[in-house]
Structure 1
Amino acid sequence: MRITIKILKGQDVTLDVEPHTLISDMKKEIESKLNIPLPEQKLLLLGRTLKDENTVSAYPNLHEGCKLNLVVMRPRIEGLREILQKSFRKYYNEPQADNLVIAFMTDFETNLKQMSVDDIERLSESLLGV
């Protein structure tokens, strides 16, 4: 069966898979076609992460012509929390900065959980001016 892998702000790739194909084997094929290292790949089906040790048949919604989203998780240089800490500490004392970071991250995570992958893609495109 043919499955399309959709990459945020990238090209689509089509894979030929069988019901017994492991998700990890799909990721290896993606690595060879797109040069995206395995540890940086996260495959999503309907917003849920596919587990490497499972086969295609473990996911009933994964069928011929299905589209999976590939999230590329680049190695973290510096996370949002660390950037916020540095920024807030310029203007506030440490306990105040910590409280602001906690409040910001809680609000950010709540809002992010309410967004679909398509919402995130549209937001990314608008922020990048694409």
Structure 2
Amino acid sequence: MKLTIKILKGEEYVIDTTDESTILDIKVELERKSAIPVEHQKLLLVGKTLADEKTVASYGSIKDGTKLTLVVKKPDSLRDVIQRHFKKYLQEEQSQRLTNEFMKDFDGKIQQLSLDDLEKIASDILAKKGQRV
């Protein structure tokens, strides 16, 4: 079966799938076609979020030719990720203080990097993703 995935900014992609495919399988295929990471994808059917672990068949209204909407989620900032992690183990005040200290130290280390260092880091990251600089 073919599903059309409409991205809010206008592009559309056609994905070949089966009833046994999971929503995550669709997202992986969409990542290959669109280069939008799976973790930034949110698929909607008539405004309702589709769960990654469910199959196409579990949504009775998904048929051949169904159009799904893709919302691209903004990734969390480093500060938010660090603070969320600290909150798992510490109280709010402690997690804020440690997050601030971490970010201050991180920013200081970034400031010490040369442009050559930054270019090498960027090249390494792109190479890991299979892209060229």
Normalised-by-shorter TM-score class: 0.5 to 0.7
- SS of residue matched to 2:57: helix
**2:14 corresponds to which residue?**
14
Instruction: State the match for 2:27 in structure 1.
Output: 27
User: Which whole-Å CA distance do the structure 2 matches of 1:20 and 1:12 have between them?
Assistant: 23
Return 5+ residue gaps in structure 1 as ranges: 79-130
Supply the RMSD in Å over aligned alpha carbons. 1.6
Q: Deviations over 1:32-83 (max 9, x none)?
A: 11000111000000111110000000001111111000000021459xxxxx
Partner of 2:2: 2
Higher relative contact order (CA 8 A, sep 6+): 1
CA shift at 1:27, angstroms?
0.3
> Which letter does structure 1 place at the counterpart of 2:72?
V
Structure 2: any 5+ residue segments left out of the alignment?
80-133
Q: Match of 2:88?
A: none
Change in 2 beyond 3 A, CA 1:38/1:58: same
Give the secondary-structure state (helix, strand or coil) at the position aligned to 1:53.
coil
- In 1, Cα distance between equivalents of 2:10 and 2:34: 10
Mapped pair 1:66 → 2:66: yes
TM-score, normalised via structure 2 length: 0.56
